[in-house]
């Protein structure tokens, strides 16, 4: 899903997203960044996520900020937020884990 009018791309991560997906995930995100798109990551559909994906989200944030674009996380599923909190990345991802957006 994308919002071309506002120059923002919403990327929805679905089901399991792990180290096996990071290469494709990186390519996709880079494509939008190269097109100067702000990106919103929607984690509402996540059933499983791992640390390599969290690292890639952080790396995307750094890249976007470097390019003057916006990074946002939206609708963390319970599984996603639990994992992010368990490895203490919530602050780094600027995520209000205490109150998951989409329990």
Partner 1 sequence: MDENTQIFVSESEELLEDMEQALLALEASPNDDNLINRIFRAAHTIKGSAGLFGFDDIIAFTHVVENLLDDIRNCLVPVSVDLITLLMKCKDQIVEMIENLNSEDSIEYPEKAELLALLNAFSASSSSDETPSIASVKQVVSLESDNSTGSIYHISIRLGLDTFREGFDPEIMFEQLKELGTITQIKMVQTSIPRLSEIDGENCHLGWELSLDSLKSKQEITEVLEFMDGANIKILSPDSQSKDFIKLINELPEQDSAIGKILLDIGAISPKELQSVLNKQKTQGGLTGELIIEEGLSQEKVVKSAIKTQSKVRKEKQTEREFIRVAADKLDKLVNLVGELVIGSAKITQLAKSRHDIELEESVEEMTQALEDMRETALGLRMTPVANTFNRFHRVVRDIAKSLDKKIRLKITGGDTELDKTVVEKIGDPLTHLIRNSMDHGIETPHERLLANKPEEGTITLSAFHETGSIIIEVKDDGKGLDAEKILSLAKERGLVAKDQVMKRSEIYKLIFEPGFSTAKEINNISGRGVGMDVVRRSIESLRGTVNIFSEPGQGSRIVIRLPLTLAIIDGFHVQVADESYIIPLDSMVECISLSDSQKIEANRHDHIKLRDSVLPLIPLDKNWGINKNQNTFEQARVNLVVVQFEGKKIGVLVDSLHGEVQAVIKPLGKVFDGLRGFAGFSLLGSGQVAMIMDIADLAKSVASKERERHNFTERRTRKRVSMTDILE
Binding site for partner 1 (CB under 8 A): 19, 22-23, 25-26, 29-30, 33, 50-52, 54-56, 58-60, 62-63, 66, 83, 86-89, 91-92
> Could you tell me which residues are beta bridge partners of residue 8?
3, 38
The gap from C-alpha 9 to its chain's centroid, in whole angstroms, comes to 11
User: Minimum distance between the CB of residue 5 and partner 1, rounded to whole angstroms?
Assistant: 25
Q: How far is the CB of 99 from partner 1 (least distance, A)?
A: 19
DSSP type of residue 37: -
Tokens of 27: 């390519």
Q: Determine the Cα–Cα distance for residues 6 and 79; give it in Å rounded to an integer.
A: 30
Please say which residue, 56 or 73, places its beta carbon nearer to partner 1.
Answer: 56
Output the smallest distance, CB 70 to partner 1, in A. Answer: 14
């Amino acid at each position: 899903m994308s919002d071309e009018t506002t120059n923002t791309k919403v990327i929805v991560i679905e089901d399991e997203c792990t180290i096996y997906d990071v290469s494709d995930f990186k390519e996709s995100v880079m494509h939008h960044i190269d097109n100067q798109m702000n990106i919103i990551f929607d984690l509402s559909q996540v059933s499983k996520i791992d640390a390599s994906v969290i690292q890639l989200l952080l790396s995307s944030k750094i890249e976007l900020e470097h390019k003057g674009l916006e990074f946002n996380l939206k609708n963390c599923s319970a599984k996603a937020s639990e994992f992010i909190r368990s490895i203490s990345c919530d602050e780094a991802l600027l995520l209000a884990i205490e109150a998951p957006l989409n329990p």
